[in-house]
Amino acid sequence: MNNTKQNPFHLIACASLIALIVLLVLWEMLLAPLRPGGSWMVLKVIPLLYPLRGILKRQNYTMQWSSMLIFLYFTEGVVRAGSDTLALSRALAGLEIILSVAFFFGAILYLRPYKKAAKKAKKEAANNLPSEPI
């Protein structure tokens, strides 16, 4: 597959991941922190920083495992959307849900052609194996 051509799903994954990182920092430091002046909850953004470089560089393996990591943020968004008492915090949780779902689908749809090509290559390799004499 040609990695130099811009893929819209890669753009969605990159944009949603960066937006989620910015959202989480702003949420816990300025917009609706758990404690006035900011919260240690801002540290929850750190796991998202690990795959950022790989996502930007289109590394398939990083796309795969980070698409599972993002479910932690989806889950947090669902929990906080249903339990936070502050309306702004519930709205930010809704945005967290949207961004995590956008990242997941962006990553999965970006990887789809690579997965199909890998399956095809595996099938062709299996068909080209010499048969052993009995």
The encoded tokens of residue 132 equal: 């052993």
Give the pLDDT confidence of 31-86 residue by residue, as tens digits: 999 888 888 889 999 999 999 999 999 999 999 999 999 999 999 999 999 999 99
Rounded to whole angstroms, the Cα distance separating 71 from 39 reads: 22
State pTM to two decimals.
0.86
Handedness of CA 32, 35, 40, 41 (dihedral sign): negative
Task: Report how far Cα 4 is from the mean position of its chain's Cα atoms.
Answer: 21
Phi, psi torsion values for 57, nearest 5 degrees: -90, 5
The encoded tokens of residue 48 equal: 């998202």
Most confident of 2-6, 43-47, 112-116: 43-47
